[in-house]
């Protein structure tokens, strides 16, 4: 018990994570998928300097002009700091929640593509790239506009089909001990800095896990590449635990949440959550408010399939929604696309046709002020729902 | 493990410079598992999943800082991973503890994933842990790095930012104190534990 080997043998018995527990870990499907995500992270291949620039948050900028600031507030999700205007558009994603209980499928998922392809009127996909633009007007280029939504068929029938499909899915019950929704998303936010002489846009891709108390308590925990943080939950979130059991009730439930959320301050020092409530709520349009509320439902809740069905049923009644056709989301998951227009932008829901789960929400900028120097249409944000389930513990894998 | 890794390598480069992708993939294949273990051992309440998240962040940072790592840590790139991970763990825990203190009424303390309970020790797991707990943090740290993480004294020195000779001295002192602690009764009371 005195020489080196004995000490090693003794310490081995107390090793909380023996080497055998992690042997071969790099070869597991989840680890390979993680490696692919790391290598595919936009900006990662362009070197440390570029990456630092991408991830720097809330840059200081010159004072904005009133008109531009107003446009930003109307057309993009809000946010403003005193001497600068930063519009942070956050899309969190929809999520393939898997019917309420979904094991984390990250291991089998494709990396997030930088470009999304929307179905065109002629059936040919149209690639939409990021709005992250140059800070100079010199490289602004003209891009063919997206076809008007009126050219696409109404989405009522498609959404009704999705509603029925979702309601047919198995509906596992949440166990009483499972007090948290664990939601994993890939999101993309766009920061816009507007000044009298300079405008710059940048994209901030994030893969996020959130643990959110299902009872609507006041805080939740979020983890991304910058670490573990807690955030206040804004008021007005439509909580699944309080969702009615009929379509009309669900419509009122969604609209109530949207109205409250629109004016809701978000956590001190953090403006990102305000993004969801932005353009849609400001537009004062019912379909916009409904869609914004749906985004919030999926962002903060694990949505059971029956409720997902009711949500699609509510949206099916809205004539503004149009069926774009089949498309793949940024993780190459097949779905059907349903879209509507708000002033200056188009929202696209991608829903899995075989399960009725929300896969993704894309936000496409159709027009931008000249000073933004971005070529529209372009992608202003997205939200991919990678996994959504209930869990007993924060930080637990299941 | 390596066979599978090498098969997937071509798919793992989504178009970035192949040299960077190859560099990171080789590091990842060889050191991902050990690094996860290293992190997990230091997460007092973390799960293996949590350790994997942190490890992946470290590899992401490695890719972002490749130029500097290759320049400043040439030949010691794996050591950089451990060195960086060491800084990430307290950050995570600090955030987490602060949050837990503020919002304990929202998320219950007992809901935090506990340290995984691994296979029962044959004789003396608790006794060994008791001896370790009684040692100074510096002694305990060097023992864990040397015996649990299986790192060389030179690498330990680079991770801790101290001279390798100082590591050897600290390791000898830690061994001596461990033996003394074990002989003083820490081990005797643990004998026979299931």
Q: What pLDDT, in 10s, does the model give residues A337-387?
A: 999 998 888 999 999 999 999 999 998 888 876 656 677 888 888 889 998
A307: pLDDT confidence band, cut at 50, 70 and 90?
very high
Could you tell me which residue, B87 or A84, shows the higher pLDDT?
A: B87
Residues in A closer than 8 angstroms to B106, CB to CB, are 213, 217-219
Cβ under 8 Å to B: A residues 207-266: 209, 211, 213, 217-219, 221, 223, 225, 227-230
- B15-27 pLDDT, tens digit per residue, is 455 788 899 999 9
A97: pLDDT confidence band, cut at 50, 70 and 90?
very low
The residues, ordered by sequence, that sit 6+ positions from A363 with a Cβ below 8 Å of its Cβ are A89, A91, A345, A346, A347, A348, A379, A380, A381, A382
ipTM above 0.90, yes or no: no
Nearest Cα of chain B lies from the Cα of A211 at a distance, in angstroms, of: 10
Residue A315 has pLDDT above 60, yes or no: yes
Token pair recorded at residue B170:
């600290």
Task: Give the distance from CA A306 to its chain's centroid.
Answer: 22
Nearest Cα of chain B lies from the Cα of A228 at a distance, in angstroms, of: 6
The partner residue sitting opposite A2, judged by closest CB among B15, B132, B179, is B179
What's the rounded Cα separation, in Å, for the pair A351 and A346? 16
A278: pLDDT confidence band, cut at 50, 70 and 90?
very low
Of A77-86, A183-192, B2-11, B123-132, minimum mean pLDDT range: A77-86
Residue B143 has pLDDT above 50, yes or no: yes
> Would you call B5 and A27 a contact, using CB atoms and an 8 Å cutoff?
yes
Token pair recorded at residue A255:
């609209």
The partner residue sitting opposite A27, judged by closest CB among B1, B15, B122, is B1
**Rounded percentage of chain A residues whose pLDDT exceeds 90:** 20
8 A C-beta contact, residue A323 and residue A338: yes
The mean pLDDT of A78-94, rounded to a whole number, is: 28
Q: Any chain B CB within 8 A of the CB of A108? A: no
pLDDT at residue A349 in the model: 96
pLDDT at residue A159 in the model: 96
Could you tell me which residue, B135 or B96, shows the higher pLDDT?
A: B135
Task: Give the distance from CA A43 to its chain's centroid.
Answer: 19
Helix A156-168, helix A305-316: angle, nearest 10: 170
The mean pLDDT of B129-157, rounded to a whole number, is: 88
Q: Any chain A CB within 8 A of the CB of B150? A: yes
The burial of A151, by beta-carbon neighbours within 10 Å (0-12 exposed, 13-18 middle, 19 or more buried), is given as exposed
The partner residue sitting opposite B121, judged by closest CB among A13, A38, A44, is A13
Q: Which DSSP symbol is given to A277?
A: G
pLDDT, mean over chain A: 71
What's the rounded Cα separation, in Å, for the pair B71 and A48? 13
Q: Any chain A CB within 8 A of the CB of B26? A: no
> Searching chain A, which residue's CA lies closest to the CA of residue B42?
A16
3-state secondary structure of B42: helix
- A128-160 pLDDT, tens digit per residue, is 887 765 443 434 455 688 889 989 999 999 999
A257: pLDDT confidence band, cut at 50, 70 and 90?
low
Residues in A closer than 8 angstroms to B118, CB to CB, are 16-18, 21
Nearest Cα of chain B lies from the Cα of A9 at a distance, in angstroms, of: 9
A104: pLDDT confidence band, cut at 50, 70 and 90?
very low
> Would you call A24 and B33 a contact, using CB atoms and an 8 Å cutoff?
yes
Q: Any chain B CB within 8 A of the CB of A16? A: yes
> Would you call B111 and A229 a contact, using CB atoms and an 8 Å cutoff?
no
The partner residue sitting opposite A25, judged by closest CB among B24, B32, B96, is B32
Q: Any chain B CB within 8 A of the CB of A25? A: yes
A vs B: CB pairs below 8 A: 207
Residue A354: Cβ within 10 Å count: 11
B91: pLDDT confidence band, cut at 50, 70 and 90?
low
What's the rounded Cα separation, in Å, for the pair B95 and B43? 13
The mean pLDDT of B153-176, rounded to a whole number, is: 92
- A232-249 pLDDT, tens digit per residue, is 777 778 888 888 989 999
Could you tell me which residue, A5 or A370, shows the higher pLDDT?
A: A5
Could you tell me which residue, A71 or A113, shows the higher pLDDT?
A: A113
> Would you call A393 and B111 a contact, using CB atoms and an 8 Å cutoff?
yes
A17: pLDDT confidence band, cut at 50, 70 and 90?
confident
Spelled out in words, what is the top-level CATH class assigned to the domain B119-194? mainly alpha
> Would you call B56 and A34 a contact, using CB atoms and an 8 Å cutoff?
yes
pLDDT at residue A199 in the model: 53
The partner residue sitting opposite A38, judged by closest CB among B59, B103, B108, is B59
> Would you call B47 and A397 a contact, using CB atoms and an 8 Å cutoff?
yes
Which residue is listed with tokens 């989840």? A30
Residue A329 has pLDDT above 70, yes or no: yes
> Would you call B28 and A26 a contact, using CB atoms and an 8 Å cutoff?
yes
> Would you call A31 and B68 a contact, using CB atoms and an 8 Å cutoff?
no
A236: left (phi over 0), alpha (psi -120 to 50) or beta: left
> Searching chain A, which residue's CA lies closest to the CA of residue B38?
A17
Cβ under 8 Å to B: A residues 35-54: 35-41, 44-48, 51-52
8 A C-beta contact, residue A389 and residue A102: yes
What's the rounded Cα separation, in Å, for the pair A277 and A324? 24
What's the rounded Cα separation, in Å, for the pair A369 and A71? 8
Residue B8 has pLDDT above 80, yes or no: no
Task: Give the distance from CA A343 to its chain's centroid.
Answer: 20
Could you tell me which residue, B14 or A116, shows the higher pLDDT?
A: A116
Probe site for chain B from A9, A25, A103, A182 (most B CB atoms < 10 A): A25
pLDDT at residue A109 in the model: 67
Residue A164 has pLDDT above 90, yes or no: yes
Residue B92 has pLDDT above 80, yes or no: no
Q: What is the DSSP string of A327-365?
A: EE-TT--EEEEEEEEETTEEEEEEE-TTT--EEEEEEEE
Helix B164-181, helix A4-14: angle, nearest 10: 80
Q: Any chain A CB within 8 A of the CB of B122? A: yes
pLDDT at residue A259 in the model: 54
8 A C-beta contact, residue A204 and residue A55: yes
Nearest Cα of chain A lies from the Cα of B101 at a distance, in angstroms, of: 11
Residues in B closer than 8 angstroms to A227, CB to CB, are 88, 91-92, 95
**Rounded percentage of chain B residues whose pLDDT exceeds 70:** 65
- The 3-state secondary structure of B84-105 reads HHHHHHHHHHHHHHHHHHHCCC
Cβ under 8 Å to B: A residues 176-205: 179-180
What's the rounded Cα separation, in Å, for the pair A61 and A63? 7
pLDDT at residue A222 in the model: 79
Nearest Cα of chain B lies from the Cα of A174 at a distance, in angstroms, of: 16
> Would you call A45 and B33 a contact, using CB atoms and an 8 Å cutoff?
no
- The ranges of chain B annotated as CATH 1.10.10.10 are 119-194
3-state secondary structure of A159: helix
């Amino acid at each position: 018990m005195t020489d080196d080997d004995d000490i090693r043998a003794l310490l081995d018995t107390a090793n909380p994570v023996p080497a055998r527990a992690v042997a071969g870990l790099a070869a597991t499907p989840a680890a390979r998928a993680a490696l692919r995500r790391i290598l595919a992270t936009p900006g990662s291949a362009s070197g440390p300097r570029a990456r630092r620039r991408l991830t720097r948050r809330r840059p200081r900028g010159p004072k904005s002009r009133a008109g531009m600031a107003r446009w930003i507030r109307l057309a993009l999700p809000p946010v403003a700091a005193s001497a600068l205007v930063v519009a942070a558009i956050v899309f969190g994603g929809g999520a393939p929640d898997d019917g309420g209980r979904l094991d984390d499928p990250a291991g089998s998922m494709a990396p997030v593509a930088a470009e999304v392809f929307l179905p065109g009127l002629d059936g040919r996909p149209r690639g939409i790239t990021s709005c992250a633009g140059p800070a100079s007007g010199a490289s602004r280029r003209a891009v063919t506009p997206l076809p008007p939504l009126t050219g696409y068929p109404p989405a009522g029938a498609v959404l009704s089909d999705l509603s029925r499909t979702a309601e047919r899915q198995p509906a596992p019950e949440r166990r009483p001990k499972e007090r948290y929704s664990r939601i994993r998303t890939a999101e993309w936010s766009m920061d816009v800095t507007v000044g009298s002489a300079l405008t710059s846009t940048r994209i901030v891709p994030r893969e996020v896990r959130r643990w959110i108390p299902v009872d609507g308590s006041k805080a939740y925990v979020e983890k991304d590449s910058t670490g573990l943080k807690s955030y206040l939950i804004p008021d007005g979130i439509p909580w699944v635990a309080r969702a009615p059991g009929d379509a009309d009730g669900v419509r009122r439930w969604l609209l109530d949440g949207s109205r409250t959320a629109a004016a809701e301050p978000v956590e001190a020092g953090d403006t990102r959550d305000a993004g969801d409530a932005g353009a849609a709520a400001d537009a004062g349009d019912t379909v916009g408010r409904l869609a914004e509320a749906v985004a919030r439902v999926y962002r903060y809740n694990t949505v059971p399939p029956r409720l997902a069905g009711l949500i699609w049923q509510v949206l099916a009644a809205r004539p503004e929604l149009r069926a774009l056709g089949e498309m793949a989301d940024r993780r190459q998951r097949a779905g059907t696309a349903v879209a509507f227009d708000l002033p200056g932008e188009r929202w696209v829901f991608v829903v899995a046709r075989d399960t009725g789960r929300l896969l993704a929400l894309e936000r496409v900028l159709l027009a931008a002020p000249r000073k933004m120097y971005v070529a529209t249409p372009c992608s202003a944000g997205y939200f991919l729902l990678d996994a959504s389930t209930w869990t007993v513990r924060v930080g637990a894998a299941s | 493990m390596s066979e599978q890794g090498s098969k997937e390598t071509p798919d793992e480069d989504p178009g970035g410079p192949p040299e960077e992708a190859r560099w990171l993939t080789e590091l990842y294949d060889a050191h991902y598992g050990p690094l996860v273990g290293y992190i997990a051992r230091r997460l007092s309440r973390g799960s293996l999943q949590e350790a994997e998240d942190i490890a992946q962040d470290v590899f992401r940072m490695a890719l972002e800082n490749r130029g500097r790592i290759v320049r400043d840590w040439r030949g010691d790139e794996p050591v950089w991973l451990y060195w960086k991970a060491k800084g990430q763990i307290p950050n995570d825990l600090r955030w987490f503890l602060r949050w837990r203190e503020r919002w304990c009424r929202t998320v219950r303390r007992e809901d935090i994933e506990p340290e995984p309970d691994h296979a029962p020790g044959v004789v003396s797991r608790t006794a060994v842990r008791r001896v370790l707990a009684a040692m100074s943090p510096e002694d305990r740290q060097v023992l864990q790095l040397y015996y649990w993480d299986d790192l060389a004294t030179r690498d330990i020195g680079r991770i801790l930012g101290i001279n390798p000779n100082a590591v050897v001295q600290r390791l000898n002192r830690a061994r001596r104190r461990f033996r003394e602690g074990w002989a003083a009764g820490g081990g005797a009371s643990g004998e026979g534990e299931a």
